[in-house]
């Protein structure tokens, strides 16, 4: 649950990224159109949220300039 704030800050600063928190589940929509991907995790699953943060900042969902 500690990492959800960090995730919110990262998502807020990105284009084509939507973070939703509904009934204890976080959902991140990355991209648009046929290339859109969806990531989900329990809102208290810090390990998975850290993995999402890593993918958004440095991995397959890293934004390029």
Helix/strand/coil for 25: strand
Identify the residue whose tokens are 């890593």.
54
| Residue extents of the structural domains in the chain | 4-57
Predicted confidence at residue 55, as pLDDT, reads 97
Query: What global pTM score does this model have?
Result: 0.90
Q: Specify the DSSP class assigned to residue 44.
A: T
- Are the beta carbons of 18 and 29 closer than 8 angstroms? yes
pLDDT digits (tens, 9 = 90+) for 8-65: 999 999 999 999 999 999 999 999 899 899 999 999 999 999 999 999 999 999 988 6
Q: What is the Cα–Cα distance from 21 to 41, expressed in whole angstroms?
A: 10
Maximal C-alpha separation, the chain: 35
């Amino acid at each position: 649950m500690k990492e959800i704030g960090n995730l919110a800050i990262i998502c807020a600063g990105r284009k084509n990224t939507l973070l939703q928190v509904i009934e204890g589940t976080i959902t991140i929509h990355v991209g648009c159109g046929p290339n859109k991907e969806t990531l989900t995790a329990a809102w208290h699953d810090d390990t998975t949220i850290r993995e999402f943060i890593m993918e958004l900042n440095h991995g397959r969902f890293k934004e390029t300039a």
